[in-house]
Structure 1
Amino acid sequence: MDPNPGLLLDLQDVSKGFNGVTVLDGVDFHLRAGEVMALIGENGAGKSTLMRIVTGIIPPDSTSAMMFRGRSVTFTAPRQAIDAGIAMIHQELNLLPHLSVADNIWLGREPLNRLGLIDRGRMRREAATLLQRLRQPIDPDQPVASLSVGQQQMVEIARALSLNAELLIMDEPTDALTDVETAVLFEVIRGLKADGKGIVYISHRLGEIFALCDSVTVLRDGHMVHRGAVADLDEAALIRHMVGRSITDQYPYLPCPAGPERLAVDGLSAEGVNDVGFTAAGGEILGFAGLMGAGRTELGKAIFGANRLRAGRIRVDGADVRLRHPRDGVAAGIAYVPEDRKAEGLIQAHSIHTNMSLAALNRFCGPAGVVRRGDERTAIERFMTAFSVKAHGIGAEVCTLSGGNQQKISLAKALMLSPKVVILDEPTRGVDVGARREIYSLINELKAKGLCILLMSSDMPELLGLSDRILVMAGGRITGRFARGEATQEKIMACAIG
């Protein structure tokens, strides 16, 4: 008999450790049907680990109890959880880039026709229906590799919706989405709630929690420190539960005197970018806003040398630079932090040590080309301390870190180059509120030292809070330019939608 009638999911006394380090310590978790529960905490608090236990990806260490839909369950494989009615949208994308959108949505569950053959027509039709529900004009036959990160995130969401699960776990689902796409997703979630589905919503964007969720569970250092109604909290109280301290200014703006022109872009055209021009000074944060597919990422990659230029001129400190490869960007003093750390920013199977210093090894080489390991290690450890990276040491493999800690390593890797221009593409994607504050403080330190910072972000408060100026992009072009005192969310959105 179910000891807690009315509960969709009931976990008791869940514990889990890795390599002798306790990640979860006696955690209880409860969710009712028709409830949207926020699960929050700093990076490394244990949120993803708890949900991976629920979905059968990893087993708990302790003899804990788990009830789902009134029955005691033990999942030893993800397929068992899916068959029981539990689906999860992971923070890191889990798509096969060489397959089509429809193939990814139905992977492993392909419908068959009367002859026992895969019914591709039905796959395409139902995939199109799911994408239409998410208002995504994506061809189901389109290869996933050709989609932006935000579009790939929508495909992940469509795949989870196709399972028609009773419990849907969303781990940072809006990290790659703009405000418009996020609003669409919220409509879908509210529809699922009305249908009696249970939603576990993991997010570092606190505004989303107050806009969407009914209740909240807070984890800190593997312990459950708070559970209750969202309506009973304000943002300051929520932050105190998460980090154990108050954070008074989430987006600290640092006014700096304008320095000399550091970067000039004139008539730049490349894949997804059309005739873009702007200048940016040292000691300035220039923000770039826009909807999904606006061209922000493509612009950043073109300036770094990762996307081939069709036309245009780029100058750093007044000198023309010719960019045919990322190494040319590095040589010119340009660093780029990509939005997709898993595919483009880091080597997952390698250590923190290898990843962080890989692009900057020349800095640590002596006259004979021998790496000064002591200097290298000192620099790595300095960044790990500054970024509060939670790891077992610099030898830990990147794939063992939480998403937020991986993002910190990706940032440190770029800054290890001591660049003049830093391009930050979604720099706080998957990073908790405490770590965000640390990253913002570091960005301001770079600004104070005279670096030129291009901030591409779908987080509107982040852009409005940190930027000295904001450029808005749509269709690969700049459609709006705002000084700090002029920019508002309404003005930016008006330019973003053309």
Structure 2
Amino acid sequence: MTSSSITPIVEMNNIHKSFFHVHVLKGVSFNLYPGEVHALMGENGAGKSTLIKILTGIYRKDEGSVIYKGKEVEFKNPKEAERAGISIIHQELNNIPYLSIAENFFLGKEETIKRTPLIKSKQMIEKTEEALKNLGIHLDPKRLMMDCSVGEQQMVEIARAVTQKSEVIIMDEPTAALTDREIESLFSVIEDLKRRGVAIVYISHRMEEIFRICDRITVLRDGQSIDTKNIQETNFEEIVKLMVGRELGERFPKRTTTPGEIRLKVQNLDVGDHIKGIQFDVRKGEILGVAGLMGAGRTEIMEGLFGAKKGAKGVLYLDGKQIPIKNPETSIKHGIAFVTEDRKGEGLVLDLSVRENLTLPNFKKVSSIGFMKKKKEEKFTDEMIEKLRIKTSGREQVVKSLSGGNQQKVVVGKWLGIEPKVLILDEPTRGVDVGAKKEIYDIMNELTEQGVSIIMISSELPEILGMSDRIMVIHEGKITAILNRKEATQENIMVAATGG
């Protein structure tokens, strides 16, 4: 497949790109062969997204050449690249929430009755349903996109790209919001695409996936292409070292805290029509992992106890005292913080600075008699930047220009400022590179040493197993198991997650 007798379908040679005198890509080279899955890896900020945006016409390169199917090209925009046969599935979802799945599926490519502007709605719905079923997705095409989970929306995007008959498909963190079952469906589709000669650029921070599905790996670091390896000739440790430029040590830090007395007790929690009678507790200094398949109700349960779900009711005890389930403000006042899985949609105000985002829920900390105090605000911001090792040009840097891992640290930092007793983390390392993941795990360990109780929802079983003191498994709105470290195996979790 990658022998010299086969011509690459894509060749990117000596690509340079700068933004405002910052050299982002410094002579990156990358090639892709028909029928291969080629992983593009590197820490957040290494230059992966910039390289892909140059290939698909979002950015113009400063130097170098892009050769597609033997001819030098420079696409003016993504539509032009798509027409030429290059599709991209973005990590950040690109859909219109108030339109149906079918309407989003055919967006910009609506089928109309001959010589009229009338849309063939029935045919579009049928074709969308068929495309989804081919991926093992059973969703009603008439359902509004806003009523779909993040994972369901991602699967719609994947199905849309696959049905465009592209010769090159770029998948940017395609499994970040998917369940294990959906990931298996996607991998089957990828194998089928490979057999048909489709070339795939696969961007992911999940090492297990890379070594399972990819043929080659190209590693970027600090805007340079460091090395390209055949998957059979490398291993996890070597790739991590290439990515971060150093040995990373243990993937998951050892848990050094012994959980203490019960910090939070949840009794008879009802959330909506499908989640009834939820009961569990979390101890002081404990990490309680929450596992389950997509749509099981993990996030809804936590939003319910946090007061972010209308009509949620139940009994909460914090340090032995009953507290009301009312709204997020009440929960925050009592010391419960919630880091959402949707950092860009709900966790951050992207156009504001690092300082402004960090101080948003911490007004009391940085003010005096109702007035914001600049020195207090700057001191608090600088302490958080240092404590969480946020890589930023300064406290005034706009948050949307940070890498994914550093954005996630800002979200965590917002809530650490309130000095929570209970910290709920929903998919804390989604879309975060291996180096930043390790730093977030270290922060979690430090917090539990200080007595903070952490509830961690995660779809990554290695993360659940590596970081949790106990694991609570959810299936269809019910707790099917609470496992201690000795009982917790991948098999036991999956049995409970599927209702066994």
Q: How does 1:58-137 map to 2 (within 5 A)?
A: 58-62=59-63, 64-116=64-116, 117-137=118-138
Larger mean Cα displacement after TM superposition, 131-140 or 428-437: 131-140
**Residues in 2 aligned to 1:385 and 1:35: alpha-carbon distance in whole angstroms:** 42
Residue equivalent to 1:244:
245
Matched letter for residue 72 of structure 1:
E
Deviation by residue 1:423-460 (Cα, 9 ceiling, x = unmatched): 00000001111111110000000011111100000000
Q: Which amino acid is the alignment partner of residue 268 of structure 1?
A: L
1:283/1:450 contact within 8 Å kept:
yes
Q: What is the CA distance between 1:372 and its match in structure 2?
A: 2.5
Give, in whole Å, the separation in 2 of the partners of 1:18 and 1:241.
25
Please name the residue that 2:296 is paired with. 294
Unpaired segments of 5 or more residues in structure 1? none
- In 2, the alpha carbon distance for the partners of 1:381 and 1:475 equals 43
Aligned pairs for 1:369-380 within 5 A: 369-380=370-381
**2:53, 2:59 within 8 Å by CA — same for their partners in 1?**
yes
Matches within 5 A, 1:466-485: 466-485=467-486
1:489 is displaced (CA, Å) by: 0.5
Which of the residues 330, 342, 345 maps onto 1:343? 345
Instruction: Report if aligned partners of 1:407, 1:430 keep a CA contact under 8 Å in 2.
Output: no
Whichever residue aligns with residue 388 of structure 1, its letter is R
Partner of 2:163: 162
Identity %: 44
1:441-495 residue CA offsets vs partner (Å, 9 max, x unmatched)? 0000001111110000000000001100001001111011101111001111011
Provide runs of 4+ in structure 1 moved above 6 Å: none
User: How many residues were matched structurally?
Assistant: 494
In structure 1, what is the Cα distance between the partners aligned to 2:275 and 2:396? 39
How many angstroms apart in 2 are the aligned matches of 1:109 and 1:396? 39
Tell me if the contact between 1:91 and 1:403 (Cα under 8 Å) persists in the aligned partners.
no
Deviation at 1:115, TM superposition (A): 4.4
Cα distance in 2 between the residues matched to 1:111 and 1:133: 21
How far apart are 1:204 and its partner, in Å? 0.7
Match of 2:9, SS state, is strand
Q: CA-to-partner distance for each residue in 1:198-227, whole Å, 9 max, x for gaps?
A: 000001111111001000000000000011
Q: How do 1:217-232 residues align onto structure 2 when only pairs under 5 Å count?
A: 217-232=218-233
Cα gap change, 1:228/1:257 in structure 2, threshold over 3 Å: closer, same or farther? Answer: closer
Q: Residue 492 of structure 1: SS of its match in structure 2?
A: helix
The AA in structure 1 aligned to 2:53 is R
| Residues in 1 aligned to 2:434 and 2:92: alpha-carbon distance in whole angstroms | 19
1:401 maps to 2:402:
yes
Deviation of 1:4 (Å): 9.3
Does 2:259 match 1:258? Answer: yes
Deviations 1:146-191 (A, max 9, x none): 1111111111212212322111101111111122211111111111
Q: Please tell me whether the aligned partners of residues 251 and 440 of structure 1 are also in contact (alpha carbons under 8 angstroms).
A: yes
CA distance in 1, matches of 2:145, 2:33: 35
The equivalences for 1:350-429 within 5 A come to 350-366=352-368, 368-429=369-430
Question: What does 1:300-319 align with in structure 2 at a 5 Å threshold?
Answer: 300-319=302-321
CA–CA distance in 1 between the matches of 2:107 and 2:342? 23
Q: CA shift at 1:322, angstroms?
A: 1.5
CA distance, structure 2, for counterparts of residue 134 and residue 417 of structure 1 = 44
* Contact 1:28-1:224 within 8 A present in 2 as well: yes
Shift of 1:310: 3.7
The answer on whether the counterparts of 2:313 and 2:325 sit within 8 Å (CA) in structure 1 is no
Alignment of 1:130-149 (within 5 A): 130-149=131-150
Moved more, 44-53 or 16-25: 16-25
Distance 2:6 2:257 in 1: 59
Shift of 1:308: 2.3
Worse-matched range after superposition: 426-435 or 160-169: 160-169
Render the CA deviation track for 1:222-250: whole Å, top value 9, x for unaligned: 00001120111111001000001112211
Tell me what 2:174 maps to: 173
CA RMSD of superposed structures (Å): 1.5
1:268-298, Cα deviation, whole Å (9 max, x unpaired): 0113522211011111000100000011111
CA contact (8 A) 1:262 1:317 kept: yes
Contact 2:464–2:471 at 8 Å: present in 1 too?
Answer: yes
CA contact (8 A) 2:314 2:325 kept: no
Structure 1 pair 5/183, CA: closer, same or farther in 2 (3 Å)? closer
Shift of 1:395: 1.6
Q: Could you tell me how far apart the structure 2 residues matched to 1:461 and 1:231 are?
A: 22
Q: Matches of 1:324 and 1:115 in 2, distance apart?
A: 56
Code of the residue aligned with 1:99 in structure 2: it is: L
Is 2:493 the counterpart of 1:489?
A: no
- Deviation at 1:15? 1.1
* 1-structure distance, mates of 2:268, 2:385: 39
Q: Match for 2:327 among 308, 325, 330?
A: 325
Match of 1:275 among 269, 274, 277: 277
Bigger mean CA deviation after superposition, 369-378 or 407-416: 369-378
**Deviation (angstroms), 1:78:** 1.1
Q: Retained in 1: the 8 A contact 2:312–2:325? A: no
Within 1, Cα distance between the matches of 2:131 and 2:392?
39
Tell me if the contact between 2:339 and 2:415 (Cα under 8 Å) persists in the aligned partners: yes
Structure 1 counterpart of 2:290, which letter? Answer: F
C-alpha offsets along residues 103-160 of structure 1, whole Å, 9 cap, x if unaligned?
1111111122324322111211111112112222211111111111111111121221
Unmatched 5+ residue regions in structure 2?
A: none
| Cα 1:69/1:274, change in 2 over 3 Å | farther
- Equivalent positions of 1:208-223 (< 5 A) are 208-223=209-224
Shift in CA distance, 4/67, structure 1 to aligned 2, threshold 3 Å: farther
